[in-house]
Amino acid sequence: MNQTSKPDTSCGCNSGRDGYLIYLDNGATSFPKPPEVIVAMEHACRVLGVNPGRSGYDLCREAGRVIEETRMLLARFFGGPDPERLVFTANATDALNLAIFGLLGPGDHAISSALDHNSTLRPLWHLSEQGVEVEHVGFDERGYIDPDDVIRRFRPNTRAVVLNHGSNVIGTVQPLAPIGRACRARGIHLVVDVSQTAGVAPVNLDDLGADVLCFTGHKSLLGPMGTGGMYVRAGVDIRHTRAGWRLTTHLAVFGQFSESLSPALVSEPPRMSPPLISGQASVPDTGNLTGTGVSFDRRVSPAGISLRLMSIN
Ligand SMILES: Cc1ncc(COP(=O)(O)O)c(C=O)c1O
């Protein structure tokens, strides 16, 4: 996707011929962001930039509401039935690290592909140093992996298959549904990195047969950098690999902030749903996804977002 726009030259960067910038790097991040996103970010910083969930005053509750609305819109966008299973993270890299380190341990076998992004390959490489067996499937001359090549490699100890939906290098969108079905039948978790496809191609949890979808907010969902998350299917057990503060909704579960030094809270009570990993959802980051393609005029469709992306100038 390319865009032509009259640049803001205040940064001193050169602006190309006739003073126009032709931006061809939307695979890395979409730019410029739509005016709606900029307005939402400014609103979040100026009006809503308080810490959601830490107190009970009106503004704090409104900040929390914006985050919960975003969670609901994104869960619906990915076909996830339960917004509580939608976890905000710092970006797709963070989501993939949480999923990969949280699902795999010594003695497990994992399958990925040569087309995957470093945010998948590097965590897997680290785990391969810690007793996880990792295999990578190749791809054909047209840039597609063969589902049977993945399925043939299943072993009794295969715990996860981690695959890119759309390649950031060659753009091919992989046919993951047969792999999803086979994983389901064997109780293997399929983790799908939808960073390049969310917003430009249909991404649906059930259609892909995925257990975990990891996404970024700053590419074709048109949000700011520093946004992303994952949808974790009910029943999928992702171990905690990080501890800390909780999202707004957890306050209802764990009681008041003033109790946060109690042993029960410090030790992360077991009833805490594992994928709802401790973390801080901040309005200027996650809440701003409500200003993105996910919610333009409530046209929650990849086609709507793509059209919006093309019309930015
Ligand atoms: C396929 C793919 N996965 C993951 C990522 C990482 O995304 P993020 O910048 O949100 O960590 C990228 C970013 O380039 C990507 O293209």
Residue nearest to atom 16 of ligand 1 (CA): 168
Residue nearest to atom 8 of ligand 1 (CA): 92
CA distances in angstroms from 44 to 34, 64, 216, 220, 289, listed in the order given: 16, 12, 19, 21, 11
| CATH number of the domain encompassing residue 270 | 3.40.640.10
How many Å separate Cα 78 from the centre of its chain?
10
Closest CA to 130 of 103, 157, 106: 106
> Is the CB of residue 277 less than 8 Å from the CB of residue 242?
yes
Structure tokens of 148? 């049977």
CA 165/CA 313 separation, integer angstroms: 28
Residue nearest to atom 7 of ligand 1 (CA): 92
CA 19/CA 34 separation, integer angstroms: 20
Q: Are residues 109 and 79 part of one domain? A: yes
What residues contact residue 74 under an 8 Å CB cut-off, 6+ apart?
Answer: 83, 86, 215, 229, 231, 289, 294
Q: Could you list the pLDDT tens digit for every one of the 313 residues in the chain?
A: 455 566 666 776 666 666 778 889 999 999 989 998 889 889 988 998 888 877 889 999 998 888 889 899 999 999 999 999 999 899 999 999 999 999 999 999 999 999 999 999 999 999 999 999 999 999 999 999 999 999 999 999 999 999 999 999 999 999 999 999 999 999 999 999 999 999 999 999 999 999 999 999 999 999 999 899 999 999 998 988 877 654 433 322 222 233 334 444 444 443 334 444 444 455 655 555 655 545 443 444 555 555 555 554 3
Q: Are residues 191 and 143 part of one domain? A: yes
Q: Are residues 81 and 174 part of one domain? A: yes
Q: Are residues 276 and 235 part of one domain? A: yes
Q: Are residues 21 and 150 part of one domain? A: no
Q: Are residues 265 and 144 part of one domain? A: yes
Q: Are residues 132 and 258 part of one domain? A: yes
Structure tokens of 266? 């410090």
Q: Are residues 146 and 25 part of one domain? A: no
**Choice from 119, 124, 176 to test ligand 1 binding pocket (greatest atom count within 8 A of CB):** 119
**Choice from 87, 93, 97, 162 to test ligand 1 binding pocket (greatest atom count within 8 A of CB):** 93
Closest CA to 216 of 199, 233, 202: 199
Half-sphere exposure of 219 (CA within 13 A, CB side): 25
Q: Are residues 245 and 211 part of one domain? A: yes
| CA dihedral angle for residue 303, residue 307, residue 308, residue 312, rounded to 10 degrees | 160
Q: Are residues 244 and 194 part of one domain? A: yes
Report phi then psi at 206, rounded to 5. Answer: -70, -40
- Overall number of domains in the chain: 2
Q: Are residues 45 and 28 part of one domain? A: no
Kindly write down the DSSP assignment for every residue of 6-53, as one continuous string. ---GGG-----GGG-EEE--TTT---SPPHHHHHHHHHHHHTS-S-TT
Q: Are residues 15 and 125 part of one domain? A: no
The range of the structural domain enclosing residue 156 comes to 41-296+303-311
Ligand 1 atom closest to residue 96's alpha carbon, by position in its atom list = 4
Q: How many helices (H) and strands (E) does the chain have?
A: 10, 9
Residue pLDDT, tens place only, 112-122: 999 999 999 99
CA 54/CA 122 separation, integer angstroms: 35
Q: Ligand 1 centroid to 92 CA: how many Å?
A: 6
